[in-house]
Amino acid sequence: MARLLKIAAAFTLIAIQVCPLFGAESEAGAERGESQPALRWRSKVITVSLSTSLLRPAANVKGGSDLVEAVRRSLKTWENASGVSFRVVFSDRQDVSPQGALGDGVNLITVAPTAENALLFAKSAETDAATTRVFFDARGRISEADIVLNPYQQFSTDGTFGTFDLESAFTHELGHVLGLEHSSVRGSTMYETFGKNGLFGLQDLSHRTLAEIDRAAVRAKYGAPADEDCCGTVSAKLLMAGGRPAADIEVWLEDRESGKVVSESVTGNDGVAEFGGVPSGNYSVFARRGDGTKKSVPLQELDPVEISAGAATSFTKKLELRPDDLDVKYTGFNGQLTLSSVPINAGKSYTIYLGGRNLKPKGAKISFSSPFLEVTPGSIASHDYGEGLGVLSFEVQADTRTPVGEYTIFVESASGARSAIVGGISVRTFANPFSNFIFDNKLQ
Ligand SMILES: [Zn+2]
């Protein structure tokens, strides 16, 4: 390690991060947090070079798809959310920079099915939609980032089933270009898994638009657009019952008015979780053990926090310890049980499935922190998916005024154990026609 650091100091550029955008399976947060500096560009103006391969895509891109336009919309999406602006130029280059200490300094976006590019997908041709190779120094300053689409996968811009949506893929990868890590909030653009069109029998264009958590993440690095007065920070220090720092605890904030998930973070070895780029407002705070810990930390709600623009808030909290034997992991819809968020529309009701360890329908309670979402009383039903996995379904009713966003599904077992799927339901404007019924207006 000492040797590595010395080399790092000598060359300043030490690392390459290859971040796949997964098709169906989770990467299980492999990139999160571990001894990697927070990545960031020094300048808020970033030049990206569009490879001429975008003008003449290969047969894996549906004919008539306008890739340049898809990239431009993705760039605009991040510009509208943050203080970053992009300069676009064209380049004859086709290949991403090879692995090594230094790239060529060109931030290339390419779809060329060259041997060099295909190599990046040697082990993941079946699953990845795209990947981003980021070059950065020991202090996390990014010097180059290249995006390449997986030449073995099919892409489109019109929602064709069985293809990945181009704009969604570019928007996710551009998040990595900006130094963002994966989010564990389902339904967010930076969530680590990403469905093809056809998952749940739906077109999936939801990653084209940023979730609140994506906006907070990019604003934490680059601030808000110049004309917006935005964002405070929160620092939460969590302790175990004995007073030691509680490491690897997932903490997230939900807007108290809408119930939307707004920011998420994981505590480090010092027990501290930091939140930046959070808009002014009042937030509920929730905590639970992260994926990497065996500690028995049940899902719990902490005291709410108020955040003001430009202000830094902090609090310390000792975590409660209680039985923690319920682990709800899967969300399902239309017969598919997945690690994805289920997209629904406001003003309709839907049957949602949940799967997990020790999940039993008898005595189970399902709830939302959002006043706009309700579980239909008596709608919880049991399903047999074989041994080892408990599966139940329930009907959710979304008020006509439910804002677009990601919402957490909270589950409590008969014994009082609690679990949650953060962002398990996404309210979207693109149609999910598989509703049970439609309301005129539920809340008067
Ligand atoms: Zn990714």
Q: How do the domains of the chain map onto residue ranges?
A: 15-221, 229-318, 327-438
How many A from CA of 404 to the centre of ligand 1? 23
Q: Which residues contact 108 (CB under 8 A, 6 or more apart)?
A: 48, 49, 51, 91, 93, 96, 97, 146, 147
Instruction: Specify the DSSP class assigned to residue 22.
Output: B
CA of 133 to the centre of ligand 1 (A): 10
For residue 351, how far is its CA from the centre of ligand 1 (angstroms)?
29
Our CA angle for 278, 281, 283, nearest 5°, is 80
Which pLDDT score is estimated for 8?
31
How far the first Cα of the chain sits from its last, in Å, is 63
CA atoms of 355 and 375, how far apart (whole Å) = 17
d(CA 338, CA 392): 14
pLDDT at 5: 33
Tell how far the Cα of 18 is from the centroid of ligand 1, in angstroms: 9
Cα 423 to ligand 1 centroid, rounded to whole Å: 17
Report the phi/psi class of residue 429: left, alpha or beta, with left for phi > 0 and alpha for psi in -120 to 50. alpha
CATH code reported for the domain at 327-438:
2.60.40.10
Looking at residue 441, what is its pLDDT?
52
Residue whose structure tokens are 């230094």: 102
At 99 the pLDDT is 79
Expressed in angstroms and rounded, the spacing between residue 380 Cα and the centre of ligand 1 is 34
Q: How many CA atoms lie within 13 A of 420 on its CB side?
A: 26
Q: Give 366 Cα–ligand 1 centroid separation in angstroms.
A: 30
d(CA 30, CA 18): 11
193 CA distance to ligand 1 middle (Å): 8
Burial of 64 (0-12, 13-18, 19+ CB in 10 A): exposed
Enter the CATH code of domain 15-221: 3.40.390.10
pLDDT of 36: 67
Residue-wise pLDDT for 46-99, tens only, equals: 999 999 999 999 999 999 999 999 999 999 999 999 999 999 999 999 999 987
Distance, CA of 416 to CA of 148 (rounded, Å): 47
Separation of CA 183 and ligand 1 centre (Å):
9
Q: Half-sphere exposure (CA, 13 Å, Cβ side) for 190?
A: 27
**Ion ligand 1: residue ranges with CB closer than 5 A:** 19, 21
Ligand 1 centroid distance, CA of 38 (Å)? 15
* Residues lower than pLDDT 50 in the chain: 1-16, 21-34, 442-444
Residue type (1 letter), 35: S
Residue 371 CA, ligand 1 centroid: distance in Å: 32
Q: Cβ contacts of residue 237 below 8 Å, gap of 6+? A: 245, 270, 271, 272, 314, 315, 316, 317
Distance 187 CA to ligand 1 centre (A): 13
Query: How far does residue 344's CA lie from ligand 1's centre (Å)?
Result: 24
- Per residue in 200-229, is it b (16+ CB within 10 Å) or e — as a string? bebbbbbbbbbbbbbbbbbbbbbbbeeeee
Fold match, 15-221 / 229-318: no
- The pTM for the full model equals 0.89
User: If 0-12 CB within 10 Å is exposed, 13-18 middle and 19+ buried, where does residue 116 land?
Assistant: middle
In angstroms, the CA 273 to CA 277 distance is: 14
Query: Is residue 190 a contact partner of residue 214, using CB atoms and an 8 Å limit?
Result: yes
Ligand 1 centre distance from Cα of residue 129 (Å) = 9
pLDDT of residue 14: 40
Q: Which CATH class is domain 229-318?
A: mainly beta
Measured in angstroms, how far is the CA atom of residue 173 from the centroid of ligand 1?
Answer: 6
